[in-house]
Amino acid sequence: MAQVIEVTPQFRLAGDLGIRRLGFGAMRLPTKGFHGPPRDPDVGRAVLRRAVELGVDHIDTAAFYRSADGTVRANALIRDALHPYRPGLVIATKVGPVFGPDGPRQLPARDLRAAVEDNLRTLGLDRLDLVYLRIGKMEVPHGESIAERFEALAALREAGLIRHLGLSNVDLAQLDEASAIAPVVAVQNSFYIANRDDAALLDACAARGIAFAPFFPLGGSGADLDDARVAKVAARHAATPPQIALAWLLAISPVTLAIPGTGSLAHLEANIAAGSIALTDEDLAELAAAAPMVPSRR
């Protein structure tokens, strides 16, 4: 008889802020891709309001989430739709990259204060609950020291501009380097049912009580989950492959947070409904065999 996997719906960031493990990623609100044509801001605001109505209390954003023409920006949508913010709503943001005509480049430590202040201003906040230092381009920049930049963010935390710090696109050595400077409460790397390269990093986070909130929880498109075993489990639960990908993420570890990105009300509803899918040990065994479905990212 298959056993249902018990999934705790909540996580305490740093043992402090209680949030639901199924949250929302804001990157897809301004544009469908990355820096593409603008999406309708009215729809973006409606998606945000509905997300909160459905119980979302963790929104992941960045000041650099915007349409290519700069007319639609995630932080402005969040502020317009949800400010004044409901108590308990955690808005996580990230600083590090800036995007120019030659692609992304990293801000030096001395410029991180301005990036944090930009997020405070555009979100309409006095203090940011969670700020990730995002490093590298798409690949994790192994061997790169993050000490100087993380020290700059730790100083802003000491100054009261930031409550908690996280890291994005890092490896274990960088997590260790940062943890020696200030507490790291969350890690955000690319990870999903078909890309488990960072399984050991997830385990390290779990052992330390650090949240692991992967980007691309749906593979970055929602359509990249074409696998017969995922389809079989989805059919068993009358669900879709993206819903199974989210249920899987929540079931594999107590520290995973799901932040699926969408600019679609229908997809939002489907993603939140995935939180009620009770996977079994049999499902997980089948899904364990389903990876990797796409080439490893490194």
Residues near ligand NAP (CB under 6 A) are: 25-28, 32, 60, 94, 134, 168-169, 188, 215-222, 242, 259-264, 267, 270-271
Name beta bridge partners: 251.
Answer: none
User: Which CB, 96 or 177, lies closer to ligand NAP?
Assistant: 96
Instruction: Give 169 or 174: the residue with its C-beta nearer to ligand NAP.
Output: 169
Cα dihedral across residues 100, 105, 106, 110: positive or negative: negative
Q: Using the minimum distance from each CB to ligand NAP, give the nearer residue, 235 or 285.
A: 235
Work out how close the CB of 163 gets to ligand NAP at its nearest, in angstroms, rounded to a whole number. Answer: 19
CB of 222 to ligand NAP, least distance (A): 2
Here the tokens at position 64 are 């650099």
CB of 25 to ligand NAP, least distance (A): 2
Quick one: how far is CA 106 from the chain centroid? 20
Which one, 3 or 44, has the nearer CB to ligand NAP?
A: 44
Amino acid at 47: V
User: Could you give the maximum distance between any two Cα atoms of the chain, in Å?
Assistant: 58
Encoded tokens for 164: 């908690």
Smaller CB separation from ligand NAP, 139 or 158 = 139
Is 132 a known active-site residue? no
Residues whose CB falls within 8 Å of the CB of residue 57, separated by 6 or more in sequence, listed in order:
19, 20, 23, 86, 88, 89, 90
Q: Which amino acid is at 104?
A: P
Q: In this structure, what token pair is assigned to residue 88?
A: 């308990």
Query: Phi and psi of 65, rounded to 5°?
Result: -85, 105
Closest CB to ligand NAP: residue number:
261
Q: Which stretch of DSSP H or E encloses residue 37?
A: none
Give the SS3 label for residue 169. Answer: coil
Least distance between ligand NAP and beta carbon 84 (Å): 22
Q: How far is the CB of 3 from ligand NAP (least distance, A)?
A: 27
The catalytic site residues sit at 65
